[in-house]
């Protein structure tokens, strides 16, 4: 056994001499596999970043399995204003904005490739505590109402139009509080910090699922009318083959059990074909709102 240390150099030499000719590192003037471009899906701030990842990461994973020539990642934003700054700067390649933000993005070189969800699901919901004593819109006079953002279409703009149509002076009769997210608007109502919170159906369904005890003390007291739903948009420098693959993957998602499970997680029944022209109705709606009530963006 004492002789073994002296044999080790000889064994190592024999191993090197017997090594196959092609083994070891291979060198080339170009990469063996070209790096794929990364497309970040920027979803407007429906939820906090953790909830956003839980809701949309399954869709990202699906796209990465089914689309060739690109890799997809999810991008969250702190609030609506940060999100809107990103699309103005044309930073994300792929967007899921609300319909007002869709108009903004069209003006900065993005194109609609699909609508995310049914139009009938796009409506504002007024949430109040069951013990609030609120019965009619007039009961909100002199009280506070929570919204995610002044640019949230269903969960603010359409809700304020609803109150305006019921003879409330939205800018003077109500303390309008913009609290940053859909869940925050609901929680403001639950905690009694505001008389009502405004949201829209997907976040309300998630809140009921994730916080059943709190949701049991709340109710939807009014609903607004409906409008076209959120869009999916691509920056207009996206290659056509990526655009076509992505559009096909989204539109066919509801045809398989796997796809329907992903849609259920995102609280979206299906994706619909859509184009920029489908959002012209929002342009007219916003113009009327700004004439009658307030500018959408606070200066």
pLDDT in tens, 78-116: 889 999 999 999 999 999 999 999 999 999 999 999 999
Which residues does 227 contact at the CB level (< 8 Å), separation at least 6? 99, 119, 122, 123, 153, 154, 158, 281, 282, 285
pLDDT score of 34: 54
Question: Kind and range of the H or E element at 71?
Answer: strand 71-75
pTM: 0.84
* pLDDT band at 298; cut points 50, 70, 90: confident
Distance CA 73, CA 14 (A): 49
Query: pLDDT tens digit string along 255-266?
Result: 999 999 999 999
Residues 126-140 have a mean pLDDT of 97
Find residue 212's DSSP bridge partners.
none
Distance CA 125, CA 118 (A): 16
Chain centre distance of CA 227: 17
Residue 292 has pLDDT above 60, yes or no: yes
Chain centre distance of CA 173: 32
| Pairing outcome for strands 271-272 and 110-116 | antiparallel
Distance CA 299, CA 296 (A): 9
Residue 185 has pLDDT above 90, yes or no: yes
Tell me the three state secondary structure of residue 144.
strand
- How big, in percent rounded to 5, are the helix, strand and coil portions of the chain? 45, 20, 35
Mean pLDDT rounded to a whole number for the chain: 90
pLDDT score of 4: 45
Residues 221-227 have a mean pLDDT of 97
Q: Is the distance from CB of 174 to CB of 134 less than 8 angstroms? A: no
| Pairing outcome for strands 94-96 and 231-235 | antiparallel
CA diameter of the chain:
101
Distance CA 270, CA 292 (A): 34
pLDDT score of 75: 96
pLDDT score of 22: 40
Query: pLDDT tens digit string along 33-85?
Result: 457 899 999 999 888 888 899 999 999 999 999 999 999 999 999 889 999 99
Residue 3 has pLDDT above 70, yes or no: no
Q: Is the distance from CB of 174 to CB of 163 less than 8 angstroms? A: yes
* pLDDT band at 223; cut points 50, 70, 90: very high
Q: Is 118 exposed, middle or buried (0-12, 13-18, 19+ CB in 10 A)?
A: middle
Residue 194 has pLDDT above 70, yes or no: yes
pLDDT score of 299: 59
Q: Is the distance from CB of 96 to CB of 201 less than 8 angstroms? A: no
Percent of the chain with pLDDT over 90: 83
C-alpha dihedral sign at 59, 64, 66, 70:
positive
């Amino acid at each position: 056994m004492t002789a073994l240390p002296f044999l080790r150099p000889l064994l190592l030499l024999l191993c090197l001499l017997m090594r196959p000719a092609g083994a070891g590192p291979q060198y080339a003037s170009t990469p063996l596999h070209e790096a794929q471009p990364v497309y970040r899906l920027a979803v407007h701030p429906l939820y906090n970043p953790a909830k956003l990842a839980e809701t949309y990461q399954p869709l990202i994973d699906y796209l990465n399995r089914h689309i060739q020539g690109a890799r997809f990642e999810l991008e969250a934003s702190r609030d609506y204003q940060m999100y809107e700054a990103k699309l103005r700067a044309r930073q994300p390649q792929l967007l899921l904005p609300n319909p007002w933000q869709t108009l903004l993005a069209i003006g900065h070189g993005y194109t609609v490739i699909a609508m995310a969800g049914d139009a009938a699901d796009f409506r504002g919901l007024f949430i109040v505590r069951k013990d609030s004593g609120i019965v009619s819109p007039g009961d909100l006079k002199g009280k506070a109402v929570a919204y995610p953002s002044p640019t949230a279409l269903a969960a603010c703009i359409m809700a304020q139009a609803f109150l305006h149509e019921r003879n409330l002076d939205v800018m003077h009769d109500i303390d309008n509080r913009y609290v940053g997210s859909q869940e925050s608007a609901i929680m403001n109502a639950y905690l009694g910090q505001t008389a009502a919170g405004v949201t829209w159906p997907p976040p309300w369904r998630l809140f009921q699922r994730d916080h059943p005890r709190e949701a049991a003390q709340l109710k939807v007291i009014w609903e607004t009318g409906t409008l076209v739903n959120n869009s999916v948009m691509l920056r207009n420098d996206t290659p056509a083959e990526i655009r076509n693959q992505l559009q096909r993957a989204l539109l066919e998602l509801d045809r398989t059990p796997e796809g329907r499970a992903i849609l259920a997680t995102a609280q979206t029944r299906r994706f619909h074909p859509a184009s920029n022209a489908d959002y012209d109705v929002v342009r007219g709606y916003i113009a009327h709102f700004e004439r009658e009530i307030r500018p959408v963006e606070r200066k």
